Amino acid sequence: MQEGTHAMCCQKRGEVISMMCSTKHCTFVISNNHYIHTVAMSSTEQPQPQPLSRYESQKRRDWNTFGQYLKNQSPPVSLSHCNYNHVLDFLRYLDQFGKTKVHLHACIFFGHPSPPAPCACPLRQAWGSLDALIGRLRAAYEEHGGSPDTNPFGGGAIRLYLREVKDCQSKARGIPYNKKKKKKQHHQLRLKATAPTIAKLPFKDFTS
């Protein structure tokens, strides 16, 4: 049967007419001179999967990048034998692709948040980027069957490394990271203080 053509049979009243096309199975029922049309989707017409969110897409890319990094080791390292040392080496490896200027102690701009001129200090991965990366990899590890108890991305050594990077970059760049945290806590306290007032407002005020 050619695409776009149909085959029809059983045209008596009250009986079912089956119509086949290339992609669908169409059924007609004759009742009181009216056709009732139903369509059954073929197995080839499956619903399209929902697109991944930005976070899920980034998490998948990070997981694939880390897996490729382990394969490139000599000898290659399997995920089942991965430990926190491999994670630390991976974070240091990523520094070569960083875009954040981290001033050395000997640099005249050490601790200067807005240097007036360029310098020869190295570029590194920003602490915030590494912290978010570890969060995604920690989640991906458990989604791929890893146990939370053996998660190499959630160990104390990783948290200590991130804390050291944070302190180092804060001093070198003159950016007090704790200031942002205090602002967030202050904002949360303000929300709690205004919560009773907000709760008394009618619901329609939030949807209008």
Domain boundaries, the chain: 7-41, 54-193
Fold of 54-193: DNA polymerase; domain 1 (1.10.150)
pTM higher than 0.75 for the full model? no
- Cα 195 from Cα 208, distance rounded (Å): 20
Helix axis angle, 127-143 relative to 54-71, nearest 10°? 80
Tell me which DSSP letter residue 201 carries: S
85-122 pLDDT per residue, tens: 999 999 999 999 999 999 999 999 999 999 999 999 99
User: What is the arrangement of strands in the sheet containing 16-20, beginning at the earlier edge strand?
Assistant: 16-20, 24-31, 34-41
Mean pLDDT computed over every residue of the chain = 76
pLDDT at 49: 77
